[in-house]
Structure 1
Amino acid sequence: MNPIQEYFYRLNEPARSTLLFLRKKILESDAENITETFSFRLPFFKYKKKMLCYFNFSKKHKCYYISFYHGDRLDHPQLLQEGRKKFKILLIDLDEDLPLDVILNLIDEVKKFY
């Protein structure tokens, strides 16, 4: 098993299926240019080999989030900066429907900075 597969395998449900679904949608949104790597023990998504976003778990909020590079340039009410310089995060509530349109739109916004 590669490190990315192992990362998702270790997650409990419903986090595993939610993040796997989100992973699939992100990769499919621009299959030619978005790639996946494993850095800092986290799955990272890159656009044309430049940082785009990644998944992580917030101990403060006790939930998973997607963090957007160049988030400091994004203006969206659901994004939290919380002292980060280049990133903003979007919390993922596993008990609610995923804001898939919002996530894909934010990814498109970040891609415009490259």
Structure 2
Amino acid sequence: MNPIQEYFYRIDEPERSTLLFLRKKILESDPDNITETLSFGLPFFKYKKKMLCYLYYSKKHKKHYISFYHGDKLNHPLLLQEGRKRFKILLIDGNEDLPLDFILGLINEVKQYIK
């Protein structure tokens, strides 16, 4: 198993399945330009080799989240900034339906700021 796969397999269900599904959908949303790398022990997604988003766990909220680069330019009430300068996060609940269209829309919006 590569280090990125190991990251996901250390996570308990149902969060693991949710995050693996999200990972797959992010990579499939733009397979020619979105790549995945492990940085700081976390799965990072890059768009044309520039930071796009990453996945992590919030000890404060006790939930996993997706963090969006250029989040300071995104305006939506579900996104939390909590003192971050350039990032905003979206908490992910493994027991609820994943707002996939919303997440992919945010990714497309961030891509506009990268170009």
TM-score range, shorter chain: over 0.9
Shift of 1:9: 1.1
Corresponding position: 1:23 with 2:23:
yes
Structure 1: how far apart are the matches of 2:29 and 2:76? 20
TM-score (norm 1): 0.99
| Residues 20-59 of structure 1 aligned to structure 2 (within 5 Å) | 20-59=20-59
Percentage identity across aligned positions?
A: 79
SS of the equivalent of 1:113 reads: helix
User: What residue number does 2:5 align with?
Assistant: 5
TM-score (norm 2): 0.98
SS of the equivalent of 1:102 reads: helix
Unaligned runs of 5+ in 1: none
SS of the equivalent of 2:113 reads: coil
User: What residue number does 2:62 align with?
Assistant: 62
Structure 1: how far apart are the matches of 2:95 and 2:17? 12
C-alpha distance after superposition, 1:64-91 (max 9, x if no partner): 0000000000011100000000000000
Structure 2: how far apart are the matches of 1:29 and 1:110? 13
Shift of 1:94: 1.3
User: What residue number does 2:92 align with?
Assistant: 92
Structure 2: how far apart are the matches of 1:63 and 1:3? 22
Structure 1: how far apart are the matches of 2:11 and 2:61? 17
Count of aligned pairs: 114
User: What residue number does 1:103 align with?
Assistant: 103
Unaligned runs of 5+ in 2: none
SS of the equivalent of 1:79 reads: coil
**Runs of 4+ displaced beyond 4 Å:** none
Structure 1: how far apart are the matches of 2:59 and 2:12? 16
Cα RMSD (Å): 0.5
